Structure 1
Amino acid sequence: MVDLTALLTDLAAESEQLDALVAALPPQAWDRPTPAPGWTVAHQIAHLAWTDHVAHLAATDAPAFFATVTTAPDPSRLVDDGAASFLAPPAELLARWRDGRSALAAALSATPSGEKLPWYGTRMSPASMVTARLMETWAHGEDVADALGVQRAPTARLRHVAHLGFRTLGHGFATHGRAVPTAPVRVELIAPASARSELAGPATGSEDGPGSDIWAFGPADAADRVTGPALDFCLLVTQRRHRADLALIATGPVADEWLDVAQAFAGPPGAKRDTAGSGVTA
Structure 2
Amino acid sequence: MSEVDSAVVLADLVAEGEELDALVSGQDWGAPTPAVGWTIGHQIAHLAAADANVVTAVRTPGAFDPVAHDADLDAAEGAAQPQAELLARWRAGRADVVAALREIPQDQGFPWFGAEVTTQLMAPLRLMETWAHGQDVFDALGVKRNPTARLKHVAFLGVTGRTLSFYAAGLPIPSEPLRVELTGPDGETWAWGPESAVQRIRGSALDWCLRVTHRRARAETDLTAVGDDADKWIDLARVFL
Which has the higher mean CA deviation after the structures are superposed, 107-116 or 217-226? Answer: 107-116
Deviation at 1:39, TM superposition (A): 0.4
Match of 1:202 in 2: none
Structure 1 CA distance for aligned equivalents of residues 77 and 55 of structure 2? 16
Match of 1:135 in 2: 128
Residue of structure 1 equivalent to 2:90: 97
| In structure 1, C-alpha distance between the alignment counterparts of 2:35 and 2:191, rounded to whole Å | 31
Distance 1:15 1:162, change over 3 A: same
TM-score (norm 2): 0.94
Verify: 1:242 aligned to 2:226, yes or no. Answer: no
The answer for unaligned runs of 5 or more in structure 2 is none
Residue by residue over 1:225-279, the C-alpha shift from the partner in whole angstroms, topping out at 9 and shown as x without a partner, is 00011110000000000001111001111111111111112x3xxxxxxxxxxxx
Runs of 4+ in 1 over 4 A off after TM superposition: none
Query: Counterpart of 2:167?
Result: 174
Larger mean CA deviation between 256-265 and 235-244 belongs to 256-265
Cα distance in 2 for partners of 1:150, 1:105 equals 27
Contact map agreement 2:6 2:106 (CA 8 A) in 1: no
Given candidates 62, 71, 81, the residue that maps to 2:73 is 81
Contact 2:107 2:120 survives alignment (8 Å): no
* C-alpha RMSD of matched pairs (Å): 1.5
**CA deviation after TM superposition for structure 1 residue 187, in Å:** 0.4
Alignment partners' CA distance in 2, 1:130 and 1:190: 23
Q: Distance between the aligned counterparts of 1:32 and 1:168, measured in 2?
A: 32
Amino acid at match of 1:18: L
Q: Deviations over 1:126-152 (max 9, x none)?
A: 021010000011111100000000011
Deviation of the 1:222 alpha carbon: 1.0
Q: How many angstroms apart in 2 are the aligned matches of 1:42 and 1:263?
A: 25
Residues paired across the two proteins, number: 238
Which residue of the other structure, out of 201, 205, 210, is the alignment partner of 1:230?
205
The TM-score, its normalising length taken from structure 1, stands at 0.81
> What runs of 5+ residues in structure 1 fail to find an aligned partner?
70-74, 197-212, 268-282
Q: Does 1:32 align with 2:31?
A: yes
Q: Residue 150 of structure 1 corresponds to which residue in structure 2?
A: 143
Of the structure 1 ranges 57-66 and 40-49, higher mean CA displacement relative to structure 2 is found in 57-66
Q: Give the SS at the match of 1:228.
A: strand
CA offset at residue 123 of structure 1? Answer: 2.2
Q: CA offsets per residue over residues 149-203 of structure 1, 9 Å max, x none?
A: 001100010011101110111111112222222222100001113xx6xxxxxxx
- The match for 1:64 is 63
